[in-house]
Amino acid sequence: MQFLLYLSQFIIPFLILYIIGYGMLVQVPVYDSFVRGAQEGLKTVVRIVPTLIGLMVATGVLRASGFLDFLGGLLAGLCGNNYFPAPLLPLTVVRMFSSSAATGLLLDLFKEYGTDSRIGLTASLMMCCTETIFYTMSVYFMTAGIKKTRHTLSGALLASFAGIAASAVIAGKL
Protein backbone atom coordinates (compact mmCIF):
# COMPACT_ATOMS: atom_id res chain seq x y z
CA MET A 1 0.00 0.00 0.00
CA GLN A 2 2.85 2.35 0.82
CA PHE A 3 4.26 1.76 -2.65
CA LEU A 4 0.98 2.87 -4.26
CA LEU A 5 0.95 6.04 -2.19
CA TYR A 6 4.52 6.76 -3.20
CA LEU A 7 3.78 5.98 -6.86
CA SER A 8 0.65 8.15 -6.93
CA GLN A 9 2.72 11.24 -6.12
CA PHE A 10 4.63 10.83 -9.37
CA ILE A 11 1.91 9.82 -11.84
CA ILE A 12 0.66 13.32 -12.78
CA PRO A 13 4.13 14.90 -13.12
CA PHE A 14 5.24 11.86 -15.15
CA LEU A 15 2.25 12.20 -17.50
CA ILE A 16 2.92 15.91 -18.02
CA LEU A 17 6.59 15.30 -18.75
CA TYR A 18 5.70 12.40 -21.06
CA ILE A 19 3.27 14.54 -23.08
CA ILE A 20 5.78 17.38 -23.37
CA GLY A 21 8.60 14.99 -24.26
CA TYR A 22 6.54 13.16 -26.88
CA GLY A 23 5.41 16.47 -28.39
CA MET A 24 9.00 17.64 -28.64
CA LEU A 25 10.04 14.28 -30.13
CA VAL A 26 7.50 14.52 -32.95
CA GLN A 27 8.29 18.24 -33.32
CA VAL A 28 4.91 19.64 -32.27
CA PRO A 29 4.95 23.16 -30.81
CA VAL A 30 3.74 22.00 -27.38
CA TYR A 31 3.27 25.40 -25.76
CA ASP A 32 1.44 26.83 -28.79
CA SER A 33 -0.84 23.78 -28.85
CA PHE A 34 -1.52 24.23 -25.14
CA VAL A 35 -2.41 27.92 -25.61
CA ARG A 36 -4.72 27.12 -28.56
CA GLY A 37 -6.45 24.44 -26.51
CA ALA A 38 -6.87 26.81 -23.55
CA GLN A 39 -8.40 29.46 -25.85
CA GLU A 40 -10.87 26.94 -27.26
CA GLY A 41 -11.71 25.82 -23.74
CA LEU A 42 -12.46 29.38 -22.68
CA LYS A 43 -14.73 29.85 -25.71
CA THR A 44 -16.59 26.70 -24.72
CA VAL A 45 -16.98 27.94 -21.14
CA VAL A 46 -18.39 31.25 -22.36
CA ARG A 47 -20.93 29.38 -24.52
CA ILE A 48 -22.15 27.08 -21.73
CA VAL A 49 -22.21 29.53 -18.79
CA PRO A 50 -25.77 30.76 -19.48
CA THR A 51 -27.03 27.18 -19.49
CA LEU A 52 -25.21 26.39 -16.25
CA ILE A 53 -26.55 29.50 -14.53
CA GLY A 54 -30.09 28.69 -15.68
CA LEU A 55 -29.89 25.13 -14.35
CA MET A 56 -28.42 26.24 -11.02
CA VAL A 57 -31.01 28.97 -10.53
CA ALA A 58 -33.90 26.67 -11.44
CA THR A 59 -32.67 24.00 -9.04
CA GLY A 60 -32.22 26.55 -6.25
CA VAL A 61 -35.70 27.95 -6.81
CA LEU A 62 -37.28 24.49 -6.73
CA ARG A 63 -35.44 23.60 -3.56
CA ALA A 64 -36.02 26.89 -1.72
CA SER A 65 -39.70 27.13 -2.67
CA GLY A 66 -40.56 23.82 -1.07
CA PHE A 67 -41.81 22.40 -4.37
CA LEU A 68 -39.58 19.35 -4.07
CA ASP A 69 -41.01 18.52 -0.65
CA PHE A 70 -44.51 19.06 -2.05
CA LEU A 71 -43.74 16.76 -4.97
CA GLY A 72 -42.31 14.18 -2.58
CA GLY A 73 -45.51 14.30 -0.55
CA LEU A 74 -47.65 13.81 -3.67
CA LEU A 75 -45.62 10.89 -4.95
CA ALA A 76 -45.13 9.25 -1.55
CA GLY A 77 -48.38 7.35 -1.88
CA LEU A 78 -47.32 5.87 -5.20
CA CYS A 79 -43.99 4.61 -3.94
CA GLY A 80 -44.89 3.33 -0.53
CA ASN A 81 -42.19 3.35 2.12
CA ASN A 82 -41.71 -0.40 1.77
CA TYR A 83 -40.32 -0.16 -1.75
CA PHE A 84 -38.88 3.32 -2.10
CA PRO A 85 -38.71 5.75 0.84
CA ALA A 86 -40.58 9.02 0.20
CA PRO A 87 -37.76 11.27 1.53
CA LEU A 88 -35.65 10.17 -1.44
CA LEU A 89 -38.05 11.52 -4.06
CA PRO A 90 -36.69 15.11 -3.99
CA LEU A 91 -33.16 13.71 -4.34
CA THR A 92 -34.30 11.64 -7.32
CA VAL A 93 -35.69 14.68 -9.11
CA VAL A 94 -32.83 17.06 -8.28
CA ARG A 95 -30.16 14.53 -9.24
CA MET A 96 -31.36 14.66 -12.85
CA PHE A 97 -30.57 18.39 -12.99
CA SER A 98 -27.73 19.22 -10.62
CA SER A 99 -25.09 17.16 -8.89
CA SER A 100 -24.17 19.88 -6.39
CA ALA A 101 -27.79 20.48 -5.36
CA ALA A 102 -28.27 16.72 -5.05
CA THR A 103 -25.21 16.55 -2.83
CA GLY A 104 -26.76 19.22 -0.60
CA LEU A 105 -29.94 17.17 -0.33
CA LEU A 106 -27.86 14.07 0.36
CA LEU A 107 -26.16 15.79 3.28
CA ASP A 108 -29.56 16.87 4.61
CA LEU A 109 -30.74 13.26 4.44
CA PHE A 110 -27.59 12.12 6.25
CA LYS A 111 -28.21 14.64 9.03
CA GLU A 112 -31.83 13.64 9.45
CA TYR A 113 -31.70 9.85 8.97
CA GLY A 114 -28.04 8.94 9.36
CA THR A 115 -25.56 7.53 6.90
CA ASP A 116 -26.12 3.90 7.87
CA SER A 117 -29.91 4.04 7.66
CA ARG A 118 -31.75 2.49 4.74
CA ILE A 119 -32.48 5.99 3.43
CA GLY A 120 -28.83 7.02 3.77
CA LEU A 121 -27.57 3.88 2.03
CA THR A 122 -30.11 4.14 -0.77
CA ALA A 123 -29.29 7.83 -1.28
CA SER A 124 -25.57 7.09 -1.42
CA LEU A 125 -26.08 4.35 -3.97
CA MET A 126 -28.39 6.58 -6.01
CA MET A 127 -25.74 9.26 -6.20
CA CYS A 128 -23.27 6.67 -7.51
CA CYS A 129 -25.43 5.06 -10.15
CA THR A 130 -27.40 7.96 -11.63
CA GLU A 131 -26.40 10.90 -13.78
CA THR A 132 -27.31 14.55 -14.08
CA ILE A 133 -29.22 13.87 -17.28
CA PHE A 134 -30.47 17.31 -18.22
CA TYR A 135 -27.24 19.06 -17.23
CA THR A 136 -25.17 16.62 -19.25
CA MET A 137 -27.43 16.76 -22.28
CA SER A 138 -27.68 20.53 -22.31
CA VAL A 139 -23.98 21.21 -21.79
CA TYR A 140 -22.44 18.51 -23.94
CA PHE A 141 -24.95 18.58 -26.77
CA MET A 142 -24.85 22.37 -26.91
CA THR A 143 -21.05 22.33 -26.94
CA ALA A 144 -20.94 19.74 -29.70
CA GLY A 145 -23.70 21.49 -31.67
CA ILE A 146 -26.06 18.52 -31.61
CA LYS A 147 -29.68 19.54 -32.24
CA LYS A 148 -31.38 16.16 -32.58
CA THR A 149 -30.95 14.08 -29.46
CA ARG A 150 -32.93 11.09 -30.81
CA HIS A 151 -33.26 8.51 -28.05
CA THR A 152 -30.76 10.02 -25.63
CA LEU A 153 -33.30 11.33 -23.12
CA SER A 154 -35.38 8.16 -23.02
CA GLY A 155 -32.28 5.99 -22.72
CA ALA A 156 -30.77 8.18 -20.00
CA LEU A 157 -34.05 8.22 -18.03
CA LEU A 158 -34.34 4.44 -18.33
CA ALA A 159 -30.76 3.99 -17.14
CA SER A 160 -31.30 6.38 -14.22
CA PHE A 161 -34.51 4.68 -13.13
CA ALA A 162 -32.77 1.31 -13.36
CA GLY A 163 -29.99 2.72 -11.14
CA ILE A 164 -32.53 4.10 -8.69
CA ALA A 165 -34.37 0.78 -8.53
CA ALA A 166 -31.11 -1.12 -8.12
CA SER A 167 -29.99 1.20 -5.30
CA ALA A 168 -33.29 0.66 -3.48
CA VAL A 169 -33.01 -3.12 -3.84
CA ILE A 170 -29.34 -3.25 -2.82
CA ALA A 171 -29.84 -0.96 0.18
CA GLY A 172 -32.80 -3.08 1.24
CA LYS A 173 -30.56 -6.17 1.24
CA LEU A 174 -27.80 -4.56 3.31
Q: Which residue has the higher pLDDT, 95 or 86?
A: 95
| Long-range contacts, stretch 146-150, CB < 8 angstroms, 24+ apart | none
Q: What is the pLDDT of residue 123?
A: 93
Q: What is the pLDDT of residue 79?
A: 65
Q: What is the pLDDT of residue 158?
A: 94
Confidence of residue 15 (pLDDT cuts 50, 70, 90): very high
The identity of residue 166, as a single letter, is A
171 exposed, middle or buried (CB, 10 Å; 0-12, 13-18, 19+)?
Answer: buried
| Residue 61 scores a pLDDT above 80 | yes
Inter-residue contact 119 to 85 (CB < 8 Å): yes
Q: What is the pLDDT of residue 4?
A: 83
Q: What is the pLDDT of residue 148?
A: 81
Q: Which residue has the higher pLDDT, 125 or 79?
A: 125
**Calpha distance 33→22 (Å, rounded):** 13
Dump pLDDT digits (tens) for 43-57: 888 887 887 788 778
Q: Who's near 58: CB < 8 A, 6+ residues apart?
A: 97
**Calpha distance 48→57 (Å, rounded):** 14
**Calpha distance 71→64 (Å, rounded):** 13
Q: What is the pLDDT of residue 159?
A: 93
Per domain, the residue ranges of the chain are 43-173
Dump pLDDT digits (tens) for 63-77: 788 887 787 777 766
Confidence of residue 101 (pLDDT cuts 50, 70, 90): confident
**Calpha distance 156→168 (Å, rounded):** 18
**Calpha distance 167→124 (Å, rounded):** 8
| Residue 81 scores a pLDDT above 70 | no
**Calpha distance 64→58 (Å, rounded):** 10
Q: What is the pLDDT of residue 173?
A: 74
**Calpha distance 60→143 (Å, rounded):** 24
Q: What is the pLDDT of residue 78?
A: 67
| Average pLDDT over every residue of 93-106 | 85
Q: What is the pLDDT of residue 102?
A: 87
